């Protein structure tokens, strides 16, 4: 999980820094991606202001009789929007190959530094400082979404975009890639298998009602996604209406939606810089909320696992070091080939590896640690047993569904592409290496643990490696109840599986009986005579301490 969080934290902050860049560039009277008369535009550029198509200067010199025909051809075949050319030729200045890094885009590099500084300052005191910031980063985007939603549904053609959004495409239900993308989206939005949930939960009270929290978060997540869809597609419907094209032609995904399609739609609105500022400010807040969790996961893992006195006392220095390393590793993503590497990391480093990790986690917890042990742990912390539905999901439904998604995703695998660019084989090998690097840690550590476990044979070592550590259980003594209660004394506390509890009690009773018998034998062998002056004399035993 730490490896996955590292990969995501590196490239995710690059996305945030691009949002920062667009936010700063929106502080103007006219958005720079509105028209086609800029130095970076090509002859194929065709913008739309209001309802009037506008070609760039090279086409404007054509005769009036040719303008209509050229406009029709450009709009239907070669048309590239001003926002697309601004994204490709100015913001990214994209190269022709993933191996051609070119130069570092200094404006993007500067925004990347700003992004990391903001993240560090918000985490300078750990969850104490980030927890306060999250109150704003998690709630204010809803205000922006509501403002954009009210504006969007009042536009012409908005209903067409909403109908496109709500109309299901049943033919894609059998497409494994759709299910794989859906699973990846859930893992991203909920943070499953990242390690962030475990990190943040470790700061909760021991008896915190995480069952209630999980229900609220899941419902809120789904509702927010649906709500955001209305906001996005109402604007895209308006854009399609102005361009006189179907909504499917303007709908995009990934960076194309956030930095091409939606910015172009915003240019069609009155006071477009204001809407652009609100939109990209919302993206920044949403991204920072995720980045806080990713960085805190790495810092907490370092502090907890290494745990030296110096590291514990200087957690701020650890946070700063992680931020600096993350910034340096993100520099290659700000080059002219950076977008290729960003998409490569997004598709391989943190995609199906999340599915594999979550599947292994379900199997290990339910079938190696034991579902009964886990259910008892949950009951001990919540005060009530988990519902039957959750028990069935944890044991059967979730592992099966995740396994099927993984299998069909592998079967229908297609190499990654970016527009018309096909990634070379060596870059795909790097992508698979990143994906495997987060998964291979699991079997490597398992073999290491087995090799260090006691036992004469491999089977004995495996059996001992799968047992809980003697000190496994709640960290505080006051929380060690039930099967974690002290068995003999406060100095010898062991967490035992439920089946071993009764056997352990019987063994203790037998040991007590044997001790009593031994004591009686010793009393018979060693005769101790107590003198009247309080001294002790012995017969047949030269050692009084025997």
Is 14 domain-assigned?
A: yes
Q: What is the pLDDT of residue 195?
A: 87
Full residue range of the structural domain in which residue 529 is found: 498-539
Torsional class of 535: left (φ above 0), alpha (ψ -120 to 50), beta (otherwise): beta
Whether 412 and 513 map to the same domain: the answer is: no
> What value does the mean pLDDT take over residues 376-401?
93
d(CA 131, CA 122): 9
Is residue 332, in this structure, part of any structural domain at all?
A: yes
pLDDT in tens, 86-117: 999 999 999 999 999 999 999 999 999 999 99
351 close to 435: Cβ distance less than 8 angstroms: yes
Of residues 492 and 157, which shows the higher confidence score? 157
Indicate whether 516 and 388 sit together in one domain: no
**How far is residue 287's CA from residue 289's CA, in Å, rounded to a whole number?**
5
Is the predicted pLDDT of residue 542 greater than 70, yes or no?
A: no
Render pLDDT for 419-431 as a digit per residue (tens, 0 to 9): 888 999 999 999 9
8 A C-beta contact, residue 45 and residue 71: no
Which helix (H) or strand (E) is 538 found in, with range?
strand 536-539
CA angle 34, 37, 38 (to 5 degrees): 85
- Whether residues 126 and 269 fall in one domain: yes
Please tell me the predicted confidence (pLDDT) of residue 524: 52
| Structural domain ending residue among the three candidates 371, 395, 418 | 418
Query: Are 381 and 525 found together in one domain?
Result: no
Does any domain span residue 130?
A: yes
Q: Is the pLDDT of residue 1 over 70?
A: yes
Domain end: 418, 450, 482, which one? 418
What are 35-79's pLDDT values in tens digits? 888 899 888 887 765 433 443 434 334 333 333 443 444 344 456
pLDDT value, residue 505: 60
Q: Over the stretch 132-147, which tens digit does the pLDDT of each residue have?
A: 888 898 899 999 999 9
Q: Are residues 504 and 387 in the same domain?
A: no
Structural domain includes residue 49: no
Check whether 221 is labelled as a binding-site residue. yes
Task: Note the helical H segments in 336-424.
Answer: 338-344, 352-363, 371-382, 388-392, 398-411
Residue 506 confidence class, pLDDT cut points 50, 70, 90: low
pLDDT > 60? residue 456: yes
Residues 377 and 510 in one domain: no
Mean pLDDT within 533-542: 40
Q: Do 297 and 195 contact (CB within 8 A), yes or no?
A: yes
* 407 & 502 share domain: no
User: Is residue 508 a part of any domain in this protein?
Assistant: yes
Residue partners of 479: CB distance under 8 A and separation at least 6: 206
With CA atoms as reference, report the closest residue to 236 among 172, 162, 293, 303: 162
pTM of the complete model? 0.81
Model confidence over 249-304: pLDDT tens digits? 877 666 777 898 889 888 888 899 999 999 999 999 999 989 999 999 999 999 98
Question: Does the annotation place 314 within a ligand binding site?
Answer: no
Q: 251 lies in a domain?
A: yes
Where is the domain boundary, 385, 418, 451?
A: 418
Task: Tell me: do 396 and 514 sit in the same domain.
Answer: no
Q: What is the pLDDT of residue 502?
A: 55
Kindly report, residue by residue over 171-184, the tens digit of the pLDDT.
Answer: 888 777 777 778 77
Mean pLDDT of 382-392: 94
- Number of domains, the chain: 2
In a domain, 506, yes or no: yes
Residue 511: predicted pLDDT: 66
Rounded Cα distance, 179 and 405, in Å: 7
Residue pLDDT, tens place only, 21-40 = 999 999 999 999 988 888 99
For the purposes of burial, counting CB atoms within 10 Å of the CB of 66, is it exposed (0-12), middle (13-18) or buried (19 or more)?
A: exposed
Q: How far is CA 447 from CA 206, 265, 391, 450, 491, in A?
A: 32, 54, 30, 5, 31
Do residues 369 and 274 both lie within one domain?
yes
Q: Do residues 330 and 214 share a domain?
A: yes
Q: Would residue 86 count as lying in a domain?
A: yes
> Across residues 201-226, what is the average pLDDT?
92
424: tokens are 């070379």
Q: Are residues 408 and 265 in the same domain?
A: yes
The answer on 528 and 400 residing in a single domain is no
Residue 261 pLDDT: 83
Instruction: Give SS3 for 163.
Output: helix
Comparing 297-311, 345-359, 516-530, which segment has the lowest mean pLDDT?
516-530
CA angle 519, 523, 529 (to 5 degrees): 140
Q: Worst-scoring range by mean pLDDT, 46-55, 197-206, 335-344?
A: 46-55
Answer positive or negative: Cα dihedral of 217, 218, 219, 221: positive
Is the pLDDT reported for residue 379 higher than 90? yes
| Residue 189 is labelled as binding a ligand | yes
């Amino acid at each position: 999980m730490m490896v996955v969080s590292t990969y995501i934290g590196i490239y995710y902050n690059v996305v945030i820094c691009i949002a920062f860049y667009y936010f700063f560039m929106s502080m103007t009277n006219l958005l720079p991606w509105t028209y086609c008369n800029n130095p970076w535009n090509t002859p194929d550029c065709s913008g739309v202001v209001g309802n009037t198509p506008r070609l760039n200067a090279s086409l404007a010199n054509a005769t009036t009789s040719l303008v209509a025909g050229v406009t029709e051809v450009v709009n239907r075949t070669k048309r590239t929007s001003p926002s697309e050319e601004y994204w490709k030729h100015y913001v990214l200045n994209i190269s022709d190959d993933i191996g051609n890094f070119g130069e570092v885009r200094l404006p993007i590099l500067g925004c990347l530094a700003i992004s990391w500084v903001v993240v560090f300052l918000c985490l300078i005191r750990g969850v104490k400082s980030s927890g306060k910031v999250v109150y704003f980063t998690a709630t204010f985007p809803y205000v922006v979404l509501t403002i954009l939603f009210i504006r969007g549904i009042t536009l012409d053609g908005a209903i067409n975009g909403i109908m496109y959004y709500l109309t299901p495409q049943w033919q894609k239900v059998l497409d494994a890639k759709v299910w794989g993308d859906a699973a990846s989206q859930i893992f991203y939005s909920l943070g499953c298998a990242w390690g962030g949930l475990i990190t943040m939960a470790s700061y909760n009270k021991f008896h915190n009602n995480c069952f209630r929290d999980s229900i609220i978060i899941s419902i809120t997540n789904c509702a927010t996604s649906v709500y955001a869809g209305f906001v996005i597609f109402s604007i895209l419907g308006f854009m399609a209406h102005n361009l006189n094209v179907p909504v499917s032609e303007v709908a995009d995904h990934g960076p194309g939606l956030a930095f091409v399609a939606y910015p172009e739609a915003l240019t069609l609105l009155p006071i477009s810089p204001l809407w652009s500022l609100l939109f990209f400010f919302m993206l920044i807040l949403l991204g920072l909320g995720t980045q806080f969790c990713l960085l805190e996961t790495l810092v907490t893992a370092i502090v907890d696992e290494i745990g030296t006195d110096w590291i514990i006392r200087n957690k701020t220095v650890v946070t700063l070091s992680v931020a600096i390393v993350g910034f340096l590793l993100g520099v290659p993503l700000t080059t002219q080939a950076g977008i290729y590497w960003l998409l490569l990391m997004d598709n391989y480093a943190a995609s199906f590896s999340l599915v594999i990790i979550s599947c292994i986690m379900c199997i290990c917890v339910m079938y190696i640690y034991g579902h009964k042990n886990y259910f008892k742990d949950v009951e001990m912390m919540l005060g009530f047993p988990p519902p039957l539905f959750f028990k069935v999901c944890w044991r059967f439904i979730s592992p099966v569904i995740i396994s099927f998604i993984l299998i069909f995703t592998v079967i229908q695998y297609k190499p990654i592409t970016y527009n018309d660019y096909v990634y070379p084989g060596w870059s795909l090998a790097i992508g698979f290496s990143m994906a495997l690097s987060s998964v291979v840690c699991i079997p490597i550590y398992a073999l290491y643990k087995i090799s260090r476990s006691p036992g004469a044979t491999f089977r004995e070592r495996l059996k001992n490696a799968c047992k809980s550590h003697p000190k496994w259980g709640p960290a505080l003594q006051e929380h060690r109840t039930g099967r974690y209660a002290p068995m003999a004394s406060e100095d010898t506390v062991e967490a035992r599986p439920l089946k071993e509890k009764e056997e352990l009690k019987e063994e203790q009773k037998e040991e007590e009986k044997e001790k009593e018998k031994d004591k009686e034998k010793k009393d018979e062998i060693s005769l101790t005579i107590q003198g009247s002056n309080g001294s002790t004399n012995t017969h047949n035993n030269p050692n009084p301490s025997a």
